Amino acid sequence: RKEVEQDPGPFNVPEGATVAFNCTYSNSASQSFFWYRQDCRKEPKLLMSVYSSGNEDGRFTAQLNRASQYISLLIRDSKLSDSATYLCVVFRFILTGGGNKLTFGTGTQLKVEL
C-alpha cells in the first residue's frame, strides 16, 4: 500500500460548484500535512497547511481525520482558475536511521468548467 494515496481524477465541475478531495495516509505516525497546488507544466506551490482542528483560507477548507487517517480539501464556489492538480503531502519524523520522511501523493486533477 502506498504511504499516501489520492484519487487522480479528473474531477470535472461547473464554475461555482463545491468540490472535495480526500487523501489517505498509511502511517499513523504521520505528523504534519499539507496541500500543494500544481498548475500544468508548472512547479508545485503551497496551498495550505492542515491543522488538527481544521483550517480555512477563503474558499478553501482543510480537515484532518487522524482516526481514519485522511485529510480533505474542500473548495467552495469554484473558479476557472482553480483548475490544477492538488497534491497531498504527508510528513513524519523517523526516530532511527536518520532523516524525516516527506511524501507527496500523486495528485488529484481538478477541471472547473463554464
Which positions lie near another protein, rule CB under 8 A? 4, 8, 32, 42-46, 87, 91, 98-107
CB of 16 or CB of 42, closer to another protein: 42
The half-sphere exposure of 97 on its side-chain side, counting CA atoms within 13 A, is 4
* Cβ at position 106, least distance to another protein in Å: 5
CA-to-CA dists, residue 66 to 3, 14, 63, 109, angstroms:
15, 31, 10, 24
* Cβ at position 6, least distance to another protein in Å: 8
* Cβ at position 86, least distance to another protein in Å: 10
CB of 58 or CB of 99, closer to another protein: 99
Backbone angles phi, psi at 4, to 5 degrees: -135, 125
CB 71 within 8 A of CB 88: yes
* Cβ at position 109, least distance to another protein in Å: 9
CB of 53 or CB of 114, closer to another protein: 53
Query: Is the alpha carbon torsion for 112, 105, 59, 45 positive or negative?
Result: negative
CB of 47 or CB of 75, closer to another protein: 47
CB 76 within 8 A of CB 18: yes
